[in-house]
Amino acid sequence: MRFMLLFSRQGKLRLQKWYTATAERDKKKMVRELMQVVLARKPKMCSFLEWRDLKIVYKRYASLYFCCAVEEQDNELITLEVIHRFVELLDKYFGSVCELDIIFNFEKAYFILDEFLMGGEIQDTSKKGVLKAIEQADLLQEVDVSSPKSFFLFK
């Protein structure tokens, strides 16, 4: 996967994750262009489109569009399910997630995505596996983990 974008129906970018080095200027240009293309599409249209040299796989959940750019040879359907699984993870973590959760807890959304995808590839597909990592981190919160003892308490 080259990148993943979350944006609202109004064209506000809510989350962006780039898996290849891209200059800021190009990123902005690509985001603008792609949002335009995707937002112009009608509900019944297919979830895949060719854009530049990439395949775009997108799906709308309520007011948010989840949009992935994958390589020519990547599997579109499984990418669609990558999106779905990510939504499930967010949902599970926030408890029926809405756009506001992602706005106000953007850093959490990034952490969850990082636990799920790394370098554009799936790290773990198990919901439990990913959430365990996140929740463990939440437990660690403000606890000073400098001494091994206190760390093992929460292991």
Partner 1 sequence: MPAVSKGDGMRGLAVFISDIRNCKSKEAEIKRINKELANIRSKFKGDKALDGYSKKKYVCKLLFIFLLGHDIDFGHMEAVNLLSSNKYTEKQIGYLFISVLVNSNSELIRLINNAIKNDLSSRNPTFMCLALHCIANVGSREMAEAFAGEIPRILVAGDTMDSVKQSAALCLLRLYRTSPDLVLMGEWTSRVVHLLNDQHMGVVTAAISLITCLSQKNPEEFKTCVSLAVSRLSRIVSSASTDLQDYTYYFVPAPWLSCKLLRLLQCYPPPEDGAVKGRLVECLETILNKAQEPPKSKKVQHSNAKNAILFEAIALIIHYDSEPNLLVRACNQLGQFLQHRETNLRYLALESMCTLASSEFSHEAVKTHIETVINALKTERDVSVRQRAADLLYAMCDRSNAKQIVAEMLSYLETADYSIREEMVLKVAILAEKYAVDYSWYVDTILNLIRIAGDYVSEEVWYRVIQIVINRDDVQGYAAKTVFEALQAPACHENMVKVGGYILGEFGNLIAGDPRSSPLVQFNLLHSKFHLCSVPTRALLLSAYIKFINLFPETKPTIQEVLRCDSQIRNSDVELQQRAVEYLKLSSIASTDVLATVLEEMPPFPERESSILAKLKKKKGPGAVSGNELEEGKREGGELNGAGERPGDSSAIGASNASTPSPSADLLGLRSAAPVSAAPPSAGSLLVDVFSEAGPAAPAAGANDDGFLRDLEPPTESSDSLLAEGPGDSDSAPPSVVSEDPAPPLPESDELLNKFVCKNNGVLFENQLLQIGVKSEYRQNLGRMYLFYGNKTSVQFVNFTTTVSCPGELQSQLNVQLKPVDPLVEGGAQVQQVINIECLTVFSDAPLLNIKFRYGGALQNLTLKLPVAINKFFQPTEMSSHDFFQRWKQLSQPQQEAQKIFKANHAMDTEVLKAKLLGLGTALLEKVDPNPDNFVCAGVIQTKAQQVGCLLRLEPNAQAQMYRLTLRSSKDTVAKRLCELLAEQF
Binding site for partner 1 (CB under 8 A): 13, 15-16, 19-21, 28, 42, 44-50, 53, 73, 75-78, 80-82, 84-85, 93-95, 98, 100-101, 103-108, 110-111, 114, 118-129, 133, 136-138, 140-146, 151
Our CB check for partner 1 shows the closer of 9 and 28 to be 28
Q: How far is the CB of 17 from partner 1 (least distance, A)?
A: 9
- HSE-CB at 18 with a 13 A cutoff on CA atoms is 10
Our CB check for partner 1 shows the closer of 39 and 81 to be 81
Our CB check for partner 1 shows the closer of 19 and 60 to be 19
Question: How close are the terminal C-alpha atoms of the chain, in Å?
Answer: 32
> How many other C-beta atoms can be found within 10 angstroms of the C-beta atom of residue 4?
23
Our CB check for partner 1 shows the closer of 13 and 153 to be 13
Q: How far is the CB of 123 from partner 1 (least distance, A)?
A: 5
Task: Check residue 118 and give left, alpha or beta (phi > 0: left; psi -120 to 50: alpha).
Answer: beta
Residues 6+ apart with CB under 8 A from 13: 5, 6, 7, 31, 35
